Amino acid sequence: MHRNTWSRAGPGTDSTLSPSLSATGLFPYAIVPHSEGCFVELKPGLRMDLRQHPPRRWSDTAAGLIWLPRLIDKVRAFQAGTLGAYAYPSALDQSFMRHLRLTPAQIEGLVRDLTTDEAIGTALRQHIPLSTEEIQERCAAFQAKYQWAFALLDRDDGYTRGLGYPLPQFLQRPLWRWYQRWSAQKAHATSI
């Protein structure tokens, strides 16, 4: 029995950014929810449901790029409408893209059209106007800049354990508000 795997997605399944719909006013844009009735057929085996499990670890690589497998998982979940509690494009996603001079539209199109991480990575490398050495330097700079954030992601996603983690409930809401403010500042940043 053939079963179609259909998922809600926005026009062309790309994220839609709107300056007028920013939820808090702190962000320069908001992700507009997908319109009803717009569907995209997902390729078999590529359904990513981040409501059930976390994306791959930040240190996993594809085509020599850290963060890329995690980003691919988040884009697939975004396109399938199964992001759960994860954000796309998050401040770290945006910083990764800025480091390598990529746009969400480039990544989303490749993830939609290609089936393997290596194919996506190879195609992305063709879009990056940097030498292999520059790409490695920028990946190292990205890793060094967000080392503490990666440690928190590892704990939050269950890849490592830490003392006192998960955080007590009374600390979760204030820390989430702080993260939202920090994320908004990073979204405005222009430097790598």
Q: What 3 state SS string does 75-131 have?
A: HHHHHHCCCCCCCCCCHHHHHHHHHCCCCHHHHHHHHHHCCCHHHHHHHHHHHCCCC
What are the start-end ranges of the H helices in the chain? 68-80, 91-99, 104-113, 117-127, 132-145, 147-156, 169-188
According to the model, what pLDDT value does residue 162 have?
62
d(CA 40, CA 151): 35
Domain map (residue ranges) of the chain: 49-188
Q: What is the pTM of this model?
A: 0.66
Strand partners, 62: 65
Question: What value, to the nearest 5°, has the Cα angle with vertex 96 and ends 95 and 99?
Answer: 85
d(CA 93, CA 153): 13
pLDDT 10s per residue in the chain (192 long)?
333 333 333 333 334 333 333 333 333 333 333 333 333 344 444 578 999 999 999 999 999 999 999 999 999 999 999 998 888 999 999 999 998 989 999 999 999 999 899 999 999 999 898 899 999 999 999 999 998 888 888 888 888 876 555 666 677 778 778 877 877 776 665 555
